[in-house]
């Protein structure tokens, strides 16, 4: 795997999202109600990312000469102690992502909260599997198993960490999730490097997503003050501003501790020197990460995130009707 092939894969993922959205609009033009439900939507969102990635991974593996597919993707074993420290590491990241989320909500809606009503209509275990197991595994397979490793093979590990995180954030196609997904993607790539295994980021991602599912269902069970039992729906900008200061303070402390845990994980897995070299290693001359396919993918993603795609399709729909 290398940066050029990875960028083509990312462009294919963005184009697959566009193809799905165009298909939905075609049904709208035809006056056909297309309702596949929240589970169908979540499954499709992962499938259009996972299928191109699987094809890419299998073809790359066949050319790589790696001993096994798991070895090729980086699914190495980790120690039990590392497993539990990854869980601690993830919980320590939550104040940081909460602070970023609160700041983003000053400008855009909470994307997760906007679907909570649909989520709560489904059985808890179904949504726990989709959001906290299937989704995280698929996304880590794609972004840390393929994209990050592809960029890492092309030069600087640190640049690979940064760019894989940016692509992970942009892939969500909304500014709210993109904001904290970039931060989470950055830390997930680091925990892969510290532990030497993709399983570490898979566990971290699952642990990160699971509390949001529990929170939605618990809020719905205990609260009746809002339409779907959510707290965030009632928050004003003044409330958010008041929260941001303490949230940032907690984030600085917790994230500092998370870095200490990362260092411990690297030492526990005998990768301390490797982890230190991430910050010192110079970029090898194996080609630039940025290329034309990546630029096109970014333009298409930002066009959708800023509402450009929806605006154009609404104009076409109005013309189609009248």
Written as tens digits, the pLDDT of the chain (322 aa) is: 677 889 999 999 999 999 988 888 777 777 776 677 889 889 998 999 999 999 999 888 888 777 788 878 889 999 999 999 999 999 999 999 999 999 998 888 888 877 888 888 999 999 999 999 999 999 999 999 999 999 988 778 899 999 999 999 999 999 999 999 999 999 999 999 999 999 999 999 999 999 999 988 988 788 754 444 444 445 787 878 888 889 999 999 999 999 999 999 999 999 999 898 887 755 555 567 888 999 999 999 999 999 998 888 888 878 776 6
CA dist 294 to 50, 64, 169, 288, Å? 18, 23, 14, 11
DSSP state of 67: S
Cα 232–chain centre separation:
21
287: left (phi over 0), alpha (psi -120 to 50) or beta: left
- pLDDT on residue 232: 44
- pLDDT on residue 206: 97
For the chain, what is the radius of gyration of the CA atoms? 20
Q: H or E segment at 300?
A: helix 292-305
* Nearest by Cα to 151 from 289, 294, 312, 12: 289
- pLDDT on residue 320: 72
CA dist 229 to 104, 212, 213, 218, 222, Å? 22, 13, 13, 9, 8
pTM recorded for the entire structure: 0.89
CB burial readout 271-293, b (16+ within 10 A) else e: beeebeebeeeeeeeeeebebeb
CA–CA dist 150, 293 (Å, integer): 15
CA–CA dist 95, 63 (Å, integer): 42
């Amino acid at each position: 795997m290398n940066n050029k092939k990875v960028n083509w894969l990312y462009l294919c993922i963005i184009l697959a999202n566009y193809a799905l959205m165009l298909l939905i609009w075609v049904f709208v033009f035809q006056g056909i109600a297309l309702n596949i439900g929240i589970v169908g939507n979540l499954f499709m969102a992962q499938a259009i990312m996972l299928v191109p990635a699987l094809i890419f991974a299998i073809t790359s593996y066949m050319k790589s000469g790696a001993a096994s597919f798991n070895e090729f993707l980086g699914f190495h074993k980790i120690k039990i102690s590392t497993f539990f420290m990854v869980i601690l590491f993830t919980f320590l990241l939550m104040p940081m992502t909460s602070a970023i989320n609160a700041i983003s909500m000053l400008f855009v809606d909470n994307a997760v909260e906007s679907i909570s009503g649909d989520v709560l209509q489904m059985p808890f275990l179904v949504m726990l599997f989709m959001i906290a197991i299937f989704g995280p595994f698929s996304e880590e397979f794609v972004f840390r198993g393929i994209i990050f490793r592809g960029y890492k093979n092309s030069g600087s590990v640190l640049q690979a960490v940064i760019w894989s995180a940016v692509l992970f954030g942009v892939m969500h196609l909304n500014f709210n999730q993109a904001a904290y997904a970039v931060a989470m993607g950055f830390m997930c790539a680091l925990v892969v490097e510290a532990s030497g295994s993709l399983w570490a980021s898979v566990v971290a991602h699952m642990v990160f997503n699971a509390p949001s599912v529990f929170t939605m269902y618990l809020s719905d069970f205990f609260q009746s003050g809002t339409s779907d039992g959510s707290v965030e729906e009632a928050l004003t900008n003044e409330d958010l501003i008041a929260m941001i200061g303490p949230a940032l303070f907690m984030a600085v402390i917790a994230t500092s501790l998370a870095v200490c845990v990362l260092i411990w994980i690297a030492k526990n897995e005998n990768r301390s020197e490797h982890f230190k070299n991430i910050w010192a290693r110079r970029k090898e001359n194996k080609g630039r990460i940025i290329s034309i396919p990546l630029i096109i993918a970014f333009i298409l993603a930002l066009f959708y995130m800023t509402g450009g795609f929806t605006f154009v399709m609404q104009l076409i729909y109005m013309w189609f009707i009248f």
